[in-house]
Amino acid sequence: MRIVRTVQELRREVSDWRSSGFSVGLVPTMGALHAGHFSLVERATTETDRTCVTLFVNPKQFGPNEDFAVYPRDEEADAEALRDRGANLLFAPGIDEMYPEGSATSVSVPGLGDVLEGEFRPGFFTGVATVVSKLLIQSMPHRAYFGEKDYQQLCVIRRMSADLDLPVDIVGCPIIREPDGLALSSRNAYLSEEERTVAPRLQAALKYVADVAGSTGDHMDAARGAAAELVEAGFTSVDYLTVRDASSLEQTSDPSANLRVLAAAWLGKTRLIDNVAVG
């Protein structure tokens, strides 16, 4: 597995692959890799001939009071794990390579990018859509792999990619969880031992609300109750716990709509997000 740090090297490698007739899969990450990330890499290596993983902690998607400075970073361990899993290329650019002095353009997805996470993390999805569109244009893969763990992010990236006519298939991959149900996340490392025992309650709350929504019960009431129970169980606060249309992320009363339950909640100083499908 080669490690490259410039867009020029990335382009050269990928264009060599494409001219040899290989299909190319891209897996964008911020590093601190775990089994959730590896599931995307495994899917890419299964479905395409060459897999490129990107590792870039994107400053544009962190708010001023968020954890950019302390976000876990271990490129050496990540590279070794990716090599073992059959990735062919690691693109690990510095900040100046991605955002050279004077760079000014950003990509926004109004609507989808303004609700839920967008409400609590203003600017977050503009940061995500900007970096992901750059990575897709830089590498020109046939397919790009994203986790349903960040469900709204997946919706925003699908919208952005369709709107910009990017010639890439966006592939959503299932959430990988700990045996007790906690969705794997690089930020789980912030949890204390006690918080870690409470954390799986988030998925349990989502499943409960999904069951109510699936049996055409009053899911608004169930969501309010589940949020209150999370706080009783030890969560510090709940930013949102809500049932939405699975594509538009709007509230809907259409009984035939495909639904998703999504939540973000604080456990001490750690913010956890998770979601489950209805039905």
- Residue 219 falls in the annotated catalytic set: no
* Residue 41 vs 226, nearer CB to ligand AMP: 41
Element (H, E) at 155: helix 151-163
- The interface region with ligand AMP, picked from 5-13, 34-42, 159-167, 244-252 by CB under 6 A, is 34-42
Q: Which of 100, 88, 87 is nearest to 41 (CA)?
A: 87
| Phi and psi at residue 123, to the nearest 5° | 90, -15
Angle at 29 between CA 2 and CA 196, to 5 degrees: 130
What does the alpha-carbon distance between residue 167 and residue 170 come to, in Å, rounded to a whole number? 10
Q: Which two tokens stand for residue 235?
A: 């969560």
Binder of ligand AMP out of 14, 24, 26, 40 (CB under 6 A) = 40
The Cα-based distances of 235 to 123, 210, 269 in angstroms read 25, 20, 10
Site string for ligand AMP, 156-195 (x = CB under 6 A): -----------------x-xx------xxxx---------
Query: Considering CB under 6 A, how many residues would be counted as binding ligand AMP?
Result: 17
Minimal distance, residue 155 CB to ligand AMP, in Å:
12
Minimal distance, residue 6 CB to ligand AMP, in Å:
21
Minimal distance, residue 76 CB to ligand AMP, in Å:
17
- 44 lines the binding site for ligand AMP (CB under 6 A): no
- State the catalytic residue, choosing from 34, 37, 142, 219: 37
Residue 27 β-bridge partners: 53
What does the alpha-carbon distance between residue 44 and residue 48 come to, in Å, rounded to a whole number? 6
Site string for ligand AMP, 60-79 (x = CB under 6 A): --------------------
For ligand AMP, the nearest residue by Cβ is 147
Site string for ligand AMP, 224-263 (x = CB under 6 A): ----------------------------------------
* Residue 32 vs 212, nearer CB to ligand AMP: 32
Minimal distance, residue 40 CB to ligand AMP, in Å:
6
Minimal distance, residue 206 CB to ligand AMP, in Å:
14
- 29 lines the binding site for ligand AMP (CB under 6 A): yes
Kindly identify the residues of this chain, within the stretch 87-146, that bind ligand AMP according to CB under 6 A.
Answer: 146
Mapped onto helix, strand or coil, the DSSP state of residue 100 is: coil
What does the alpha-carbon distance between residue 71 and residue 278 come to, in Å, rounded to a whole number? 32
Mapped onto helix, strand or coil, the DSSP state of residue 158 is: helix
What does the alpha-carbon distance between residue 77 and residue 72 come to, in Å, rounded to a whole number? 12
- 149 lines the binding site for ligand AMP (CB under 6 A): yes
Q: Which of 139, 142, 134 is nearest to 24 (CA)?
A: 142
Q: What strands lie across the sheet with 50-55, from one edge to the other?
A: 2-4, 89-91, 50-55, 24-29, 143-147, 169-173
Which residues are known to be catalytic?
37
Binding site for ligand AMP (CB under 6 A): 29-30, 36-37, 39-40, 146-147, 149-150, 173, 175-176, 183-186
